Amino acid sequence: MAKKQKEFYMDPWSAQSIDEEDYERLIKEFGIERVGEIERQKLIDNRFIRRKIIFGHRSLEDIFKAVEKKQPWAVMSGIKPSGPFHLGTLTTALEIVEFQKMGGKAYYCIADIESWEDNGIPYEDAEEDGIDNLADILALGLDPSPDKAYIWRQSQEPVVKDACFKVGRLLTQNMVNAIYGEKPFGLYLAALVQVGDILLPQILDAPQPTVVPVGIDQDPHIRLTRDLTRRYYKEIKKGEKIVRNAFFLPGATYHKLLAGLDGTDKMSKRNPNSYFTFNEPIESITKKLKGALTGGRRNKKEQQELGGEPQKCMIYKILTYHFEEDDEKLADDFEKCVKGELMCGEHKKECIEKVIKFIENHREKKEKCIDKARELLKVD
């Protein structure tokens, strides 16, 4: 009897597990390009590419052409200000910084409209989280210089809200249901505002290639934006001339989602045990890491005889994503685990030391960025 295929859907606002086979299905079903050797060679310094955490893309070739011709290009992303930074938000933030260092102008959005629609957080209450979140990415290395970055709050940026109404006339209820499923209508409106966010580099400055680093669960927003770009921004008037195919289709990179530390579907602010924030007490972070799911066996004897399963281990995964700089060390740990030579307690201790060192260093840098973040978001 054929194995029944798991029911699967793409939902940017809900947590669900995504297995390796699901990534393959998504690539085929939605026309995502695989990251191959050409992309890896051109982005060899990007550890997310090198370690195959970023597995797919759309229109990266436009970015490469712009780099080669020394033409402007952009990287765009943002954060929903509904709480402190955590491991799930760290991946995207670091990708933005990586692309900015390659020469792209960074466009970073504080998505307070979405935090209202999805989490019921009023704009004024989202301000402090927005400042805190922005200070985090500044501490991670984002350069806020006006020629290298543009930062905004959705609720305060008329360009993105105007774009929402312009492209909204092209949509029907059936179309948004097909992309997102049946949702509260406010989430559809928030998605249209995100279309404005993604297109803002081209609307505000000039048509240019744009890459949006996201987790695969955010692909519905990318597909919606690309479709509406084809239909609405295919031509613009410059003086007396009509310029056709005026806007570049926004591109994207897709990274694999981290599961929760406790083994739940993914790290989510809705499940405090699945992640740790950058603001919580060191004792709490340590406790969560000690309780993290591993690929270990029932006891030391079994571990030595059968070997561990690092592909299931959250300690190994978060080191791969963020806290181990040395590729050879990661490969060595993987091999030792499989051979039963690396015990979970030993590996957790090593991981905890690296994580705590990172957090403490990050907090020192972040403290120096709070005033700048407040200034950038124009909050007294």
Question: pLDDT (tens digit, 9 = 90+) per residue, 160-194?
Answer: 999 999 999 999 999 999 999 999 999 999 999 99
Residue 298 is encoded by which pair of tokens?
Answer: 């029932």
Write down the H helix ranges in the chain: 20-30, 37-42, 47-50, 60-69, 87-102, 112-119, 123-139, 158-168, 173-180, 185-200, 219-232, 282-290, 300-306, 314-318, 327-338, 344-367, 370-376
Beta-carbon contacts of 13 under 8 Å, excluding residues fewer than 6 positions away, are 118, 183, 187
Has this prediction a pTM greater than 0.85? yes
User: Is residue 269's pLDDT more than 90?
Assistant: no
Burial 176-207 (b: 16+ CB within 10 A, else e): beebbeebeeebbbbbbbbbbbbbbbbbeeeb
Q: How confident is the model at residue 238 (pLDDT cuts 50, 70, 90)?
A: low
**Closest among 111, 196, 110, 173 to 376, alpha carbons compared:** 110
Beta-carbon contacts of 122 under 8 Å, excluding residues fewer than 6 positions away, are 116
Question: Would you say 81 and 112 are in contact if contact means Cβ atoms under 8 Å apart?
Answer: yes
**Mean per-residue pLDDT for 209-233?**
94
Region class of 120: left (phi > 0), else alpha (psi between -120 and 50), else beta: left
- What is d(CA 121, CA 117) in angstroms, rounded to the nearest whole number? 8
Cα angle value 137/134/200 (rounded, 5°): 95
Residue 143 is encoded by which pair of tokens?
Answer: 């350069």
**DSSP result, 68-109:** HHT---EEEEEE--SS--BHHHHHHHHHHHHHHHHTPEEEEE
Beta-carbon contacts of 36 under 8 Å, excluding residues fewer than 6 positions away, are none
Bridge partners of 151? 108
| pLDDT tens per residue, range 109-133 | 999 999 999 999 999 999 999 999 9
pLDDT of residue 2: 46
**Mean per-residue pLDDT for 64-82?**
96
Q: How confident is the model at residue 245 (pLDDT cuts 50, 70, 90)?
A: low
CATH of 272-367, one of 3.40.50.970, 3.40.50.2000, 1.20.120.1810, 1.10.240.10: 1.10.240.10
Q: How confident is the model at residue 263 (pLDDT cuts 50, 70, 90)?
A: confident
3-state SS assignment for residue 143:
coil
| CA-CA-CA-CA dihedral for 364, 101, 254, 138, to nearest 10 | 30
Q: Which of 127-136, 190-199, 304-313, 360-369 has the lowest mean pLDDT?
A: 304-313
**Closest among 253, 256, 234 to 243, alpha carbons compared:** 234
Is domain 20-257 given the CATH code 3.20.20.140 in the classification? no
Question: Would you say 197 and 225 are in contact if contact means Cβ atoms under 8 Å apart?
Answer: no
Question: Would you say 261 and 273 are in contact if contact means Cβ atoms under 8 Å apart?
Answer: yes
pLDDT of residue 38: 86
Query: What element of type H or E holds 254?
Result: strand 251-255
Region class of 160: left (phi > 0), else alpha (psi between -120 and 50), else beta: alpha
- What is d(CA 165, CA 159) in angstroms, rounded to the nearest whole number? 10
Domain segments of the chain as ranges = 20-257, 272-367
pLDDT of residue 1: 42
